[in-house]
Structure 1
């Protein structure tokens, strides 16, 4: 686990340098086992994050170690880990493209025909469609977590989701897979935004 955590910290710092984690935004986690996971603390500047800053929480989101408070969105990580058995790493960023497109799109973003869709597990052709749902942002985290969990139960092949005016969540079977999915979605969101500008929509 130490190598996975070290790798995740390196990725987080790279994402910060890309401008995807302004101020203290974003949160990240790693599954430890079926009953617990590591997660970033609330209010921690991600550009300064260290391995020892991560907290251990149980599968219900309750802290098991550390003096800091876990991310305010811990329950969303719980929802993902509870419904996606293969999820090992979860990443959430506030990148400009993800945030903007979540404000102008309706309830879902349909990505189709892109070669880069092959970046997602199980896809080996551009001739397909990937749908990214948008959930309304809310401070009522238990309710929002239930909405996410309900969606993932009926859409087990989901690659990620957006929170309105907030950012994007992705997950993977390992740190780099989650990172690749995040990069792919960011590129595709940028393409969709540029297409919207060109078409005048």
Structure 2
């Protein structure tokens, strides 16, 4: 993997260099846990008219430079000469490039604490420390819209009109970060997540102990998996997340849109058509999928939604509408995930 710290950003690189550097950035975000699998999207401005963006449904770990898709800044659509399918959020990236010409690199992430904090009331006023570090007086949260829709993009554009900060949160969806160069964008994502975690802990009134890495299992979780084995020949992992313990006795709805897509519409003690179910008497949540890596991804989204749930309870906000969750689950299972599987 290219070291992101070694990327030179002062010169005017040609398109080949931009492609390589954009992939290096996406992989660094992946390595640091700021994105997982195919989630999120990254782009880089080529010139005043065009930008490159990561393709839809493609894992970052082995993404090739030629797979990046060139799009028009004026329309947000791919150029006629392009064969790949750009991220559905390409129009959102184009909006920022049109409105904020000083930015050259954009990252849309689903990072844990920033996503959870997107359930808070907007704006969130920052203290002096984070105000200086983030270069903003407050955190703005754009109203919700289904992923990839014009409504989401319109809300983001309207919020951008009243914003001079180099990032924005999108309600129930994630973070959108703007950088003058690659390192600028990466450092901003790290700082935002640190700030969001501090704000989360302040609001819930306790220190959090998140999983160190998506593939880590506690001894208790490993023992539980040995007892369960597999479910319908699918791989299994278990969550004994401390933040989840007080929520296991009730059904959990989708507070974040990727939870509806990847975990299920509403989680309880019966797996049903979901990829998670609760065992309250054992204080466990069981996650399952075709491979262990996918099951661990399911668990990561469950634990992120858990933190969003805690913020939502404080704000007295309900889960996503049932029909929205069902729609996203259907689209993900029948289109997006199959596309990702073909590439992996």
Pair in the same fold by TM > 0.5: yes
Partner of 1:96: 112
1:17 pairs with 2:31:
yes
Shift in CA distance, 168/139, structure 1 to aligned 2, threshold 3 Å: closer
Residue matched to 2:334: none
Match of 1:171 among 172, 178, 185: 178
Distance 1:165 1:131, change over 3 A: closer
- The answer (yes or no) to whether the contact 2:139–2:169 under 8 Å persists in 1 is no
CA distance in structure 1 between the partners assigned to 2:159 and 2:142 by the alignment:
11
1:53-105 deviations in Å (ceiling 9; x for gaps): 211011111211432111011111011111111011001111111121113x1
Q: Where do 5+ consecutive residues of structure 1 fail to align?
A: none
Distance 2:139 2:174 in 1: 16
SS in 1 for 2:178: strand
Contact 2:38 2:59 (8 Å CA) reproduced: yes
Tell me the SS of whatever aligns to 1:48: coil
Deviation track 1:14-62 (CA, whole Å, cap 9, x = no partner) reads 2112222223111000111121110011001122222222110111112
- In the other structure, the counterpart of 2:196 is 189
CA contact (8 A) 1:4 1:175 kept: no
Query: Could you tell me which residue of structure 2 aligns to residue 77 of structure 1?
Result: 93
Structure 2 partner of 1:109: 124
Are positions 1:50 and 2:64 aligned together? yes
SS at match of 2:205: helix
Aligned positions of 1:143-154 closer than 5 A? 143-154=151-162
- Cα offset, 1:192, TM superposition: 0.5
Preserved contact between residue 146 and residue 152 of structure 2 (Cα < 8 Å): yes
Distance 1:139 1:130, change over 3 A: closer
Quote how far apart the aligned CAs of 1:112 are.
Answer: 1.8
Q: In the aligned structure 2, how far is the partner of 1:67 from the partner of 1:107?
A: 40
Kindly indicate whether the alpha-carbon contact (under 8 Å) linking 2:108 and 2:177 is maintained by their aligned counterparts in 1: yes
Q: 1:139: how far off?
A: 4.0
Range moving further from structure 2, 184-193 or 132-141: 132-141
**Are 1:132 and 2:127 an aligned pair?**
no
- C-alpha distance in 2 between matches for 1:174 and 1:113: 25
Q: Which moved more, 1:80-89 or 1:190-199?
A: 190-199
RCO greater where, 1 or 2, for CA within 8 Å and sep 6 or more?
1
Report SS of the residue matched to 1:180: helix
1:66 aligns with 2:82: yes
Contact 2:145 2:155 in 1 (8 A): no
Which consecutive residues of structure 2, in runs of 5 or more, have no partner in the other structure?
1-12, 207-309, 315-344
* Structure ranking higher in strand proportion: 1
Give the CA deviation at 1:138.
1.9
**Hey, what's the Cα distance between the residues in 1 that align with 2:59 and 2:71?**
20
Larger Rg over CA atoms: 2
Q: Measure, in 2, the Cα distance between the counterparts of 1:146 and 1:5.
A: 28
RMSD of aligned C-alpha atoms? 2.1
